[in-house]
Amino acid sequence: MTPEAKVKRKAVAQLKAMDAYHFYPMTYGYGRSGVPDIVACYCGKFFGIECKSGSNKPTALQEKNLEDINKAGGFAMVVNEENVDSLMREMKAMVELTHPIR
């Protein structure tokens, strides 16, 4: 398993634990390039999650898509080995900022 696949696996485990809707968008054929690795919805909020490993950074097209998600009112984030374990906490905090969970 590649290092990035390990990050994706950890991210999905946290999304499942949160009962967040999520999927891996396919970008071949009619798909759109630069879309985040994981698309999720949690507490009615849209999340685009780009997974990276090591010192890898999002490409310019990936950065553009992440910016577009934020501009549209969603939440875009990049996770790697260093911060993937806090994904659940980060998502809950982002939701709390816009719509306090009771």
Q: How far is CA 55 from CA 3, 40, 79, 98, in A?
A: 11, 24, 11, 31
Q: Total domain count for the chain?
A: 1
What pLDDT does residue 101 have? 54
Q: Are 50 and 77 in contact (CB under 8 A)?
A: yes
User: What mean pLDDT comes out for the span 7-15?
Assistant: 96
The model carries a pTM of 0.90
Q: By C-alpha distance, which of 69, 11, 18 is closest to 43?
A: 18
Identify the domain containing residue 67 by its residue range: 3-98
**Is 60 exceeded by the pLDDT of residue 53?**
yes
Give strand ranges (E) for 1-102. Answer: 21-23, 38-42, 45-51, 75-79
Read off the CATH number of the domain in which 19 is found: 3.40.1350.10
